[in-house]
């Protein structure tokens, strides 16, 4: 007979009671079940928002081609040429007489959109309707309407179209500021023409800079051709973005997609609906990023703001006193963290508004008052005709420790470089060459000090600690930029 240890019996009995009472269960299963219960369920959202999503097809008129052979013959020949295959001997029909043919409407593309108002105002992407001669909108109940384009804006890729209908299910617009990274979101659209396709994922990043006027919402929601213009929806059933772009090396979805923030899209759509176009502000500067090296060398500290590389003649910025080499750190009190922030803030400001630009210049901050002008279409900058060859003045050698030789600017060179003073680089070797300077550059500042002549340049050089880096502001062609010269490196 086996003897049991009484302590073991007591422990076993307690465990039995806990299990029987439900206090203790199968521990490995409980966390998995709890996690399963917290996974999002999108079914109600699809029922709620799905009827507001539309399919958009575009048509364009093309001149009918006269048939010179069998139908599809040209496409077949192109197929063989593209893949390097031997071209077969295709029997040809006798050429027909060319007769005038009426223009034909051919499919141009497929996209998505969503109903903004119950009377038929629909939002989509500008690239979906661009170049279309006819826009067809299909609702989830299979009704099809011809739409007219109210307006589109290429810079933000937002377009508004209108169909003649009423009582339509409009979307709810969400607050983008409440959107959080890691939050679940859903997209509905027509990828590859497959209507009412639902995909889901999470917000990967906000304020993603892609070089455009808008800071995009980045997600890992599957977006493919045909999803463009469809809504990005949060878990409250609100539209927080318009699906617009993907990052791809193959042409298909690779886990990174971008959506236009809905607050920006609504702002654009309001202007399109009221005026048919979007007006944006401008101040007339060419800007660049501020590198960490430059920020430290000029005393700015952090690499923030927008470096002014050029100021347009007669522009609001020039009238306000903005100079090439300034670093714009604030616009109307709003900090400029990176250079792309500035055109977005200025662009969203109504033309005619008086704003305050804060610039960092030669170690100090300064507020300048500027009147915002209206942005104009981009125009090519005319190249300047080469000036007459002139005898080079004798170069100064006071800055040889930096690998520089500089000379006085002639009046013609000052006019050509659009500067009031400075020195011309005649040679840039060793440290100066490594910093990126080259012959023909015009140096206007050295160590945060303006230099209008060789004499002033030499005076600044004489006071410098030759073992430490020095910042140089110079002009090259139309652009002004900084360089940091590091002696002996």
Pinpoint the alpha helices (H) of 1-125: 6-21, 30-38, 43-49, 73-82
The pTM for the full model equals 0.62
Is residue 190 included in any domain, yes or no?
yes
State the pLDDT at residue 237: 95
- Adjacent-strand bridge partners of 143: none
State the pLDDT at residue 202: 95
State the pLDDT at residue 37: 55
Do 253 and 327 lie in a common domain? no
CA 2 distance to own-chain centroid: 79
With a pLDDT cut of 90, the percent of the chain lying above it is: 38
* In the predicted structure, residue 75 carries a pLDDT above the cut 60: no
Is residue 218 included in any domain, yes or no?
yes
The CA-based dihedral angle spanning residues 347, 349, 352, 358, taken in that order and rounded to the nearest 10 degrees: -90
Do 260 and 295 lie in a common domain? no
Is residue 17 included in any domain, yes or no?
no
State the pLDDT at residue 379: 33
Is residue 416 included in any domain, yes or no?
yes
The more confidently predicted of residues 2 and 347 is 347
Do 204 and 263 lie in a common domain? yes
pLDDT tens-digit readout, 473-489:
888 877 788 888 887 65
User: Would you say 313 and 478 are in contact if contact means Cβ atoms under 8 Å apart?
Assistant: no
pLDDT tier, 382 (very low <50, low <70, confident <90, very high otherwise): very low
Return mean pLDDT, the chain.
80
Give the count of beta carbons closer than 10 Å to the beta carbon of residue 21.
8
Give the count of beta carbons closer than 10 Å to the beta carbon of residue 123.
29
pLDDT tens-digit readout, 165-205:
999 999 999 999 999 999 999 999 998 888 889 999 999 99
The more confidently predicted of residues 234 and 425 is 234
> Is the dihedral angle over the CA atoms 86, 88, 94, 96 positive or is it negative?
negative
Do 359 and 441 lie in a common domain? no
* In the predicted structure, residue 383 carries a pLDDT above the cut 60: no
* In the predicted structure, residue 69 carries a pLDDT above the cut 50: no
Share in percent of the chain as helix, strand, coil (round to 5) = 25, 35, 45
> Strand 158-162 and strand 121-124: pairing?
antiparallel
Among 405, 412, 409, smallest CA distance to 426 is for 405
Give the integer Cα–Cα distance in Å for 124 and 132.
14
- State which residues form the domain around 325: 282-374
* In the predicted structure, residue 394 carries a pLDDT above the cut 60: no
256, 275, 294 - which closes a domain: 275
Domain CATH code at residue 191: 2.40.10.10
Is residue 106 included in any domain, yes or no?
no
Do 215 and 293 lie in a common domain? no
Among 344, 216, 215, 337, smallest CA distance to 280 is for 344
Do 237 and 292 lie in a common domain? no
Is residue 354 included in any domain, yes or no?
yes
Give the integer Cα–Cα distance in Å for 139 and 144.
6
Do 351 and 416 lie in a common domain? no
pLDDT tens-digit readout, 110-155:
899 999 999 999 999 999 998 889 999 999 999 999 999 999 998 8
Is residue 437 included in any domain, yes or no?
yes
- Adjacent-strand bridge partners of 208: 216
Do 361 and 435 lie in a common domain? no
Active-site option among 152, 153, 157, 339: 157
Does 157 qualify as catalytic in the annotation? Answer: yes
Please give the tally of structural domains in the chain. Answer: 3
* In the predicted structure, residue 36 carries a pLDDT above the cut 80: no
State the pLDDT at residue 414: 84
Active-site option among 127, 263, 291, 418: 127
* In the predicted structure, residue 164 carries a pLDDT above the cut 50: yes
Residue 444 in tokens: 């206007």
pLDDT tier, 398 (very low <50, low <70, confident <90, very high otherwise): low
Contacts of 478 (CB under 8 A, 6+ apart): 286, 310, 381
Does 220 qualify as catalytic in the annotation? Answer: no
275, 293, 313 - which closes a domain: 275
Mean pLDDT lowest for which of 8-22, 208-222, 433-447? 8-22
Do 259 and 289 lie in a common domain? no
Domain CATH code at residue 425: 2.30.42.10
Residue 462 in tokens: 């004489």
Average pLDDT over residues 271-299: 88
* In the predicted structure, residue 3 carries a pLDDT above the cut 90: no
Is residue 183 included in any domain, yes or no?
yes
Backbone φ and ψ for 44, nearest 5 degrees, come out as -65, -35
Give the integer Cα–Cα distance in Å for 233 and 222.
13
275, 294, 325 - which closes a domain: 275
* In the predicted structure, residue 14 carries a pLDDT above the cut 60: no
State the pLDDT at residue 19: 43
Active-site option among 112, 152, 204, 228: 228
Backbone φ and ψ for 73, nearest 5 degrees, come out as -65, -45
pLDDT tier, 272 (very low <50, low <70, confident <90, very high otherwise): very high
Helix (H) or strand (E) holding 347: helix 341-347
Mean pLDDT lowest for which of 50-59, 192-201, 361-370, 392-401? 392-401
Average pLDDT over residues 286-312: 89
Give the integer Cα–Cα distance in Å for 156 and 128.
13
Place of tokens 């007006």: 279
Do 410 and 368 lie in a common domain? no
Do 470 and 416 lie in a common domain? yes
Mean pLDDT lowest for which of 307-316, 342-351, 373-382, 442-451? 373-382
State the pLDDT at residue 252: 64
Do 177 and 242 lie in a common domain? yes
């Amino acid at each position: 007979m086996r003897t049991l240890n009484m302590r073991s019996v007591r422990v076993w009995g307690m465990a039995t009671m806990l299990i029987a009472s439900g206090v203790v269960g199968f521990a490995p299963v409980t966390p998995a079940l709890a996690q399963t219960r917290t996974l999002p369920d999108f079914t109600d959202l699809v029922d709620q928002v799905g009827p507001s999503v539309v399919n958009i097809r575009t048509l364009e008129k093309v001149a009918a081609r006269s048939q010179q052979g069998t139908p599809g013959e040209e496409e077949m020949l192109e197929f063989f040429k593209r893949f390097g295959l031997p071209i077969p001997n295709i029997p040809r029909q006798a050429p027909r007489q060319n007769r005038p043919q009426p223009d034909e409407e051919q499919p141009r593309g497929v996209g998505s959109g969503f109903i903004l108002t119950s009377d038929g105002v629909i939002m989509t992407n500008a690239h979906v309707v661009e170049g279309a001669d006819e826009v067809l909108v299909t609702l989830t109940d299979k009704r099809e309407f011809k739409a007219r384009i109210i307006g589109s804006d290429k810079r933000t890729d937002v377009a508004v179209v209108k169909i003649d209908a009423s009582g339509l299910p409009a979307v709810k617009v969400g607050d983008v500021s409440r959107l959080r990274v890691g939050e679940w979101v859903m997209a509905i659209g027509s990828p590859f023409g497959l209507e009412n396709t639902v995909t889901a994922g999470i917000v990967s990043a906000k304020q993603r800079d892609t070089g455009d006027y808008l800071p995009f919402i980045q997600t890992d929601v599957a977006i493919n051709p045909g999803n463009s213009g469809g809504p990005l929806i949060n878990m409250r059933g609100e539209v927080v973005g318009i699906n617009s772009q993907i990052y791809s090396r193959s042409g298909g979805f690779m886990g990174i997609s971008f959506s236009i923030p809905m607050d920006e899209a609504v702002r654009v759509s309001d202007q399109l609906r009221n005026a048919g176009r979007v007006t944006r502000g401008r101040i007339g500067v060419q800007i660049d990023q501020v590198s960490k090296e430059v920020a430290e060398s000029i005393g700015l500290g952090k690499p923030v703001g927008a470096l002014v590389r050029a100021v347009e003649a007669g522009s609001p910025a020039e009238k306000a006193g903005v100079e090439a080499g300034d670093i714009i750190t604030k616009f109307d009190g709003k900090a400029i963290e990176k250079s792309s922030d500035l055109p977005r803030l200025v662009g969203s400001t109504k033309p005619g508004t008086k704003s305050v630009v804060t610039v960092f210049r030669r170690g100090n901050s300064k507020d300048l008052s500027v009147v915002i002008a209206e942005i104009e279409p981009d125009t090519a900058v005319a190249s300047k005709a080469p000036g007459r060859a002139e005898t080079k003045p004798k170069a100064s050698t006071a800055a040889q420790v930096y690998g520089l030789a500089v000379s006085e600017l002639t009046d013609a060179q000052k006019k050509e470089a659009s500067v009031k003073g400075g020195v011309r680089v005649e040679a840039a070797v060793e440290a100066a060459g490594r910093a990126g300077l080259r012959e023909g550059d015009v140096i206007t500042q050295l160590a945060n000090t303006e230099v209008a002549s060789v004499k002033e340049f030499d005076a600044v050089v004489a006071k410098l600690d030759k073992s430490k880096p020095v910042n140089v502001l110079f002009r090259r062609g139309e652009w002004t930029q900084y360089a940091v010269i590091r002696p002996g490196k």
